[in-house]
Structure 1
Amino acid sequence: MGSRVEQFAAIRRDERVEGLSIRELAERHHVHRRTVRQALASALPPERKTPVRVSRRLEVFKPVIDTMLRADLDAPRKQRHTARRVLARLVDEHQAVEVSYSTVRDYIAHRRPEIAIEAGRASADGFVPQTHPAGAEGEVDFADLWVVLAGVKTKTQLFTLRLSHSGKAIHRAFPTQAQEAFLEGHVYAFEQLGGVPTVHVRYDNLKSAESRVLLGRNREESDRWVAFRSHYGFDAFYCQPGVNGAHEKGGVEGEGGRFRRNHCVPMPVVDSISQLNELLAAADAKDDYRRIANRATTVGHDYLIEKPLLRPLPATEFPTWLTLEPRVDRYARITVRQCHYSVPAKLIGRRVRVRLGATTLTVFDARHEVARHERITVRGEQSLNLDHYLEVLQRKPGALPGATALAQARKDGTFTPAHEAFWAAARHALGDSKGTRALVEVLLLHRHLPAADVIAGITAALRLESVSPDVVAVEARKFGNAAAPPSPGSTGPQVIDLAQRRTIAGAVVPVDERPLPSVAPYDDLLGQVNR
């Protein structure tokens, strides 16, 4: 457009300054005389007209294609005509051998939505800008997040709750999308935001909240979810199922991808889910300084305005965990969600109470906590604690070398090289059975003494060339006492002899006038023995 404007300006200038004719202007500027007339008539070149291309070969078949597309309105979604199928029918039924695939494809692409609108099955596609009052609405969704967890590439679930007005978002990673994670994510987000949206929170089809998806926006909610919403005092707004409802919570739909691209590339390398969540919390704080689109203020600034308008948090805690009562099998394990966890062997055959959270599993015997494990997400996996099997291993020491709990203890570092060295020395000195029992007694010390003290006791015992558990216990307590800080006001242990005691102010110690002890009677006895 710019070059034609300049060309028109040059033609008009030459005509104005030199008075050249139309023919002379056309020859000088190498254009048609029609272009010269257009330039003299207006300084702005006329708009170029896009020619309307008509496929003469397809024209006679358009009514046939329209009939096929109208029939698709009542057909199952996965059994509707594709462009390739339409072309095949045209060739087979109407001998349209000269019609190309691209021509049929392009016609169907623009004609199919027109037919749907004509039949009242769809409306013109478009969106209406929305304004979200401060403190009123939020959006929730899960997104996949890949991390390197303990050296293994692992997929976690990124929970996101976003305030619709300010765009302030809270993120939390969980192993699964289970209801426990769903509820814990809400609790964490509400605590970080300092309140709850006053009107509603938008959701899609999350099984954590819904028992069944009904027609349109209707849902059959689970009882725990209803109780949770009632506890925090907010309503749920369910979007249309499928891609048709994605735009109804478009803020959080785009938030997951934006957050991953900006804070999780390259993949985070972490040792645990808790460490990952520390990184996510730092990223959330950093996002307070960003601006959304063309806003003049930051997310953090808008959130400070929105925060006082949120509903206050309830005074009591909602139990987000799931309570179960499995029975302990003969391997001292319980099975929860098709995964196995160990408990103390004394509980074999009994039922225990389990509190299943999003990331942890806690086992109770009556009111006493007896075991705690990180939650497993892989079906059939086991989390076994070697300490739970020590009483059994005292009676069956031969089971220790191949024990799964021992392999896991070696992997996580709780069974250290010091334990390995003591076991090897004990077996060498006492034999396999007695040496293993000695190791079990040392492992039992961990129940009463800090791990560092026990390891120091093992090291000291090996230095003394002893494999006695009693020596390990004595050395561990000596190490613990030496490392313990002195009590307030004391200067450490002191030894005062008798001479010093006499010099202590105010002390009256009588002089010892007794004769020195003699060993003469013992010498007489020795003489009698020698005779």
Structure 2
Amino acid sequence: MPGRHVTDHQMRLFMKHRLTHPIPVAAARAGFSVATGYRLAEDTRPPSEKHGTRGRRRPDPLAEIFEAEVVPMLQANPGLRPVALLEELLRRHPELGHGIRRTLERRVRQWRALNGPDREVIFRQTHEPGRMGLSDFTDMAGLGITVAGTPLPHRLYHFRLVFSGFEHALVVLQGESFVALAAGLQDALWTLGGAPREHRTDSLSAAFKNLAPEVEDDWTRRYSALCDHYGMAASRNNRGVAHENGAIEGPHGHLKRRVEDALLLRTSRDFGTVDAYRAFIDTLVGRHNARNRKRIDAERAALRPLPARRAEDGEDTMVTVTSSGGFMLRRVFYSVPSRLIGHRLRVRLHDDRLEVFLGGTLLMTLARGRGYGDNRRAHVVDYRHVIHSLRAKPGALPGLVYRDQLFPRQAYRRLYEVAMEALPERAACKLVVGALAIAHERACEADLASLIDACLDAGALPALAELRTRFAPDPEALPQVTVQMAPLSAYDALTTSCGEARA
């Protein structure tokens, strides 16, 4: 056919049919014209042997300078990119022009293949069921997740079994830490119902914290103890060699893409609470595991049995409650009831909460704070802890270091801002502190906030006396208790009867 080259296969077919048929028939059966058949009959070489080596169509622009200038640069710095070599050559020889870029790239690639340094070899592994699980953290800042309209900077702790692809993800708010690693790993193992023989991480600061030697030793011991508790051998890949942890580095991207797709289908990246976002992640991971159910069930049979209980995944530390009504921990101030001032408390630190103990008694659980900005300081304050003292000294409110964190709802913050503009400072502080005291004493924080918003929207400030009256107990709702006093003669009769009984 015109425009198509005869192949070696057609040539062999033509020569075969030519033994028993004339040239026109043999050419037809081979799939080309009669004229081509007569031409090939005169020269029986296969077409592949007739084509000579294609020569250059233009002079080699690098003929005189590649060996003399480019090769020495490559030998001295093997990592040089062709684009950097091109810029240097154009600086030395402006007459070459940018048209030599592709030629230079081909020559450099060929030189490296023949004379370049040896490259690292990736050794593919055979994975056995129940042998290895991997842990790593991945940053989720690029997805733009918000909680109640506020950006949520966070990471995901990601666990994966190499053989079956079982995955577990935990939303981590405080960054990479041993606490987050221990909580996420144990959640994954107890969800799975068993433990692999080996647990691998990269050079996590959570497991191998590169700070002071004594801190690094302590954290390494805790990580080793955690793995020993579940009968797992602890291992890690070489620093900076991510492909040694490739069985989870690649799935990081797959997980993020699944989250991104689900967010697009959801049409919103905002969640009401952190717990709602955690449930969203758990649902996605659960669907993925359901697709691998058969392989996961097969691997479960090869896992080590779990111990009788979980290992402690919190970090204990001791703090002292100061006269400010709280304690500092990791650059965050936490308020506690003022009756604890001067006491030493034991705090168990988790990724999202603090458990506060007095001796062996659990006193309370506090949300864990996170500092932002240059000084990375924050305050976690419950107005109920300090309202009794603030009520006696309302003038301390304007300069209070944690004033903005004191207000439990936006309505109370609005009340402070409007009152400070409309009233003298002392009267404004009395109004705001009085409103907070009513919210605490009458347990009406939400209802009072709604009333304050309504008043402010109407352009008026609520009166403190009216708030006290509005949220005072209804006299008709109070039970009527009538106490009748027994006559003293009844006691005489009681003592008499007791004496007769002894007789």
Q: Give the TM-score, by structure 2 length.
A: 0.69
Partner amino acid for 2:133?
G
CA distance, structure 1, for counterparts of residue 331 and residue 52 of structure 2: 68
Gaps of 5+ in 1: 74-79, 214-218, 291-298, 459-464, 482-492, 494-531
Which residue of structure 2 lines up, in the alignment, with residue 528 of structure 1? none
Change (3 A) 1:92 1:326: same
How many aligned positions are there? Answer: 436
Which residue of structure 2 lines up, in the alignment, with residue 192 of structure 1? 191
Change (3 A) 1:148 1:346: same
CA distance, structure 2, for counterparts of residue 476 and residue 262 of structure 1: 59
Change (3 A) 1:275 1:62: same
Alignment of 1:280-299 (within 5 A): 280-290=281-291, 299=292
- Cα contact 1:328–1:347 (8 A) shared by 2: yes
Question: Residues 345-382 of structure 1: CA distance to partner in whole angstroms, max 9, x if unpaired?
Answer: 44456543322211113334443424512332532232
CA distance, structure 2, for counterparts of residue 305 and residue 264 of structure 1: 30
Gaps of 5+ in 2: 212-216, 453-463, 481-503
Which residue of structure 2 lines up, in the alignment, with residue 393 of structure 1? 390
Alignment of 1:12-411 (within 5 A): 19=24, 51=54, 56-64=60-68, 65-72=70-77, 81-83=80-82, 86=85, 98=96, 100-112=100-112, 114-117=114-117, 122-123=118-119, 127-145=122-140, 146=143, 147-175=145-173, 176-198=175-197, 200-211=198-209, 222-242=220-240, 245-265=241-261, 266=263, 268-290=269-291, 299-348=292-341, 351-366=344-359, 367-370=361-364, 372-378=366-372, 379-400=376-397, 407-408=404-405, 410=407
Change (3 A) 1:402 1:472: farther
CA distance, structure 1, for counterparts of residue 122 and residue 356 of structure 2: 51
Question: Residues 196-254 of structure 1: CA distance to partner in whole angstroms, max 9, x if unpaired?
Answer: 102x12222211111459xxxxx997222122112222112322332xx3333322112
What SS does the aligned partner of 1:210 have? coil
- Cα contact 1:210–1:220 (8 A) shared by 2: no
- Cα contact 1:138–1:163 (8 A) shared by 2: yes
Between the aligned residues of both structures, percent identity stands at: 22
What SS does the aligned partner of 2:154 have? strand
Change (3 A) 1:371 1:164: closer
CA distance, structure 2, for counterparts of residue 457 and residue 88 of structure 1: 71
Q: How much does 1:304 deviate?
A: 0.8
What SS does the aligned partner of 1:261 have? helix
What SS does the aligned partner of 1:222 have? helix
Partner amino acid for 1:380?
R
CA distance, structure 2, for counterparts of residue 115 and residue 476 of structure 1: 97
- Cα contact 2:206–2:219 (8 A) shared by 1: no
Q: Which has the greater radius of gyration?
A: 1
- Cα contact 2:351–2:368 (8 A) shared by 1: no
Q: How much does 1:47 deviate?
A: 11
Question: Residues 43-70 of structure 1: CA distance to partner in whole angstroms, max 9, x if unpaired?
Answer: x988988858697443454544444433
Q: Give the TM-score, by structure 1 length.
A: 0.65
- Cα contact 2:14–2:26 (8 A) shared by 1: no
Which residue of structure 1 lines up, in the alignment, with residue 460 of structure 2? none
CA distance, structure 2, for counterparts of residue 90 and residue 338 of structure 1: 55
Question: Residues 72-100 of structure 1: CA distance to partner in whole angstroms, max 9, x if unpaired?
Answer: 36xxxxxx64445555776888x796594
CA RMSD of aligned residues (A): 5.0
Q: Comparing 26-35 with 324-333, which one deviates more in the overlay?
A: 26-35
